[in-house]
Amino acid sequence: MTKSEIIGALAASRKVEDICRNIAHTNSMSADLLDLAQCVYLILLEYDETKVRDMYQAGTLNFFLARIVINQYRSRTSPFHKQFREFRRLCEEYSPADYNAEQVEAAMKLGR
């Protein structure tokens, strides 16, 4: 099998999503976990083809995927944390509910 076929089989079986749910100790796929799964697929796509095939043939690919998920999910310096969690945190700090109608109207008048 090629790397693309292996990743396609993983995506069809939703194995990465299952690992993400197990690591997060939940049964549902939140937006964070969907983003995490996509990050894992991206890492796997960028990984060396020979190494992916060897891990798949040796039966160690699931352990490799679990390690990637753990590192991405728990680390505060991982690409997943920086791109998604930090972005969501910043967005939540500036929620439109924090502003009243008068502030919005005043800001709109200044922008004209």
State the pTM of this model: 0.73
Write the pLDDT tens digit of every residue in 2-21.
Answer: 999 999 999 999 999 999 99
- Both structure tokens of 8: 């396609």
Q: Are 20 and 36 in contact (CB under 8 A)?
A: yes
Determine the Cα angle at 109 with ends 104 and 111, to 5°: 95
- Measured in residues, the chain has a length of 112
Q: What is the mean pLDDT of residues 16-45?
A: 89
